[in-house]
């Protein structure tokens, strides 16, 4: 078994050395007085995406959607849309569908369009490549290390108040509502990881080197505001670890899988404590 020191050397030190060397090579080959089109596009897109998510991504703030639909001459559509989300027969589930779709659009669809249409680059160069077998092994080790942390956290009042995002009543069946939500919830982590650990990091590593990770951690922590304080602080550690692994492997898929497993496990554990089910 590799020692902790050898893991650190191969997955952190070597990754930092390689990425910083590639960044220095880039700076030696370009005119520093010319604007960096790629970094500008990534930063501007990141800002626009986070603004759109904050403005249009919550079922608790539908005023912007209503104003937008009315502005384009669709006042009836605005009323129908709000009714679908808040008062329809399946309003609870519809709200979760809306939440998932807005994140897929903001975290995945928009950045992909920028990469392919504006930057004319390959998605694999932004972390879309599949990780190697040894990288999957590392993510498996991390999942095992996180298991007791997740179990312990699931008993804490802050986490029990927050999760699961899809509330289940005492007499409510878990299928199809809860399990359908969990599938959507797990899937949107692909989009989230692509945005923070793919688009932002791989899109700016040529300029910032290993520091691209720090550039992505700040907004990542901020999107966790409103969650339990331990999770907000934990997001900084997660951002650093998953960002480093994304740079090392060139892939966000392992991080997406780990993120989904942890999140779904938290939902299931909290629900089990609350309802005494499964």
Which pLDDT score, from 0 to 100, does residue 126 have?
98
Q: Measured between alpha carbons, how far is residue 74 from residues 66, 68, 96 in Å?
A: 9, 9, 24
The closest alpha carbon to 237, from 206, 267, 266, 258, belongs to 258
Which pLDDT score, from 0 to 100, does residue 132 have?
86
Distance, in Å, from the CA atom of 274 to the CA atom of 164, rounded to the nearest integer, reads 10
The pLDDT tens digits for 17-55 are 999 999 999 988 887 778 899 999 999 999 999 999 999
Q: Which residues pair with 128 in a beta bridge?
A: 251
Q: Where are the beta strands (DSSP E) in the chain?
A: none
Distance, in Å, from the CA atom of 100 to the CA atom of 192, rounded to the nearest integer, reads 11
Residue 247 tokens, joined: 């740079």
User: Sign (positive/negative) of CA torsion 101, 104, 106, 110?
Assistant: negative
Coil/strand/helix, residue 190: helix
Which pLDDT score, from 0 to 100, does residue 190 have?
97
Residue 171 tokens, joined: 């007499």
Give every residue of the chain whose pLDDT is below 50, as ranges.
none
Which pLDDT score, from 0 to 100, does residue 133 have?
86
**32 CB burial (10 A radius; 0-12, 13-18, 19+):** exposed
Which pLDDT score, from 0 to 100, does residue 167 have?
87
Which pLDDT score, from 0 to 100, does residue 145 have?
95
Which pLDDT score, from 0 to 100, does residue 269 have?
95
Which pLDDT score, from 0 to 100, does residue 276 have?
72
């Amino acid at each position: 078994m590799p020692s902790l020191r050898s893991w650190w050397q191969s997955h952190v030190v070597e990754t930092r050395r390689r990425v910083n060397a590639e960044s220095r090579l880039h700076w030696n080959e370009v005119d520093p007085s010319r604007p960096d089109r790629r970094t500008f596009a990534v930063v501007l897109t990141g800002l626009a995406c986070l603004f759109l998510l904050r403005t249009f991504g919550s079922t608790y703030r539908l005023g912007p959607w209503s104003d937008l639909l009315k502005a384009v001459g669709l006042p009836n559509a605005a009323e129908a849309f709000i009714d679908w989300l808040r008062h329809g027969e399946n309003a609870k589930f519809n709200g979760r569908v809306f939440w998932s779709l807005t994140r897929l659009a903001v975290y995945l669809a928009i950045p992909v369009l920028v990469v392919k249409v504006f930057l004319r680059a390959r998605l694999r160069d932004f972390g879309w490549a599949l990780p190697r077998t040894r990288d999957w092994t590392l993510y498996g080790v991390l999942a095992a290390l996180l298991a007791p942390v997740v179990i312990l956290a699931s008993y804490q009042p802050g986490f029990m108040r927050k999760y699961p995002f899809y509330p289940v009543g005492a007499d409510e069946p878990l299928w199809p509502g809860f399990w359908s939500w969990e599938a959507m919830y797990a899937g949107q982590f692909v989009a989230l990881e692509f945005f923070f650990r793919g688009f932002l990091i791989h899109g700016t590593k040529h300029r910032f080197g290993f520091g691209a990770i720090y550039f992505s951690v700040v907004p990542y922590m901020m999107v966790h505001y409103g969650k339990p304080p331990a999770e907000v602080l934990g997001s900084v550690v997660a951002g650093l670890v998953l960002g480093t692994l994304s740079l090392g492997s060139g892939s966000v898929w392992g991080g997406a899988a780990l993120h989904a497993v942890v999140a779904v496990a938290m939902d299931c554990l909290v629900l089990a404590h609350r309802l005494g089910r499964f």
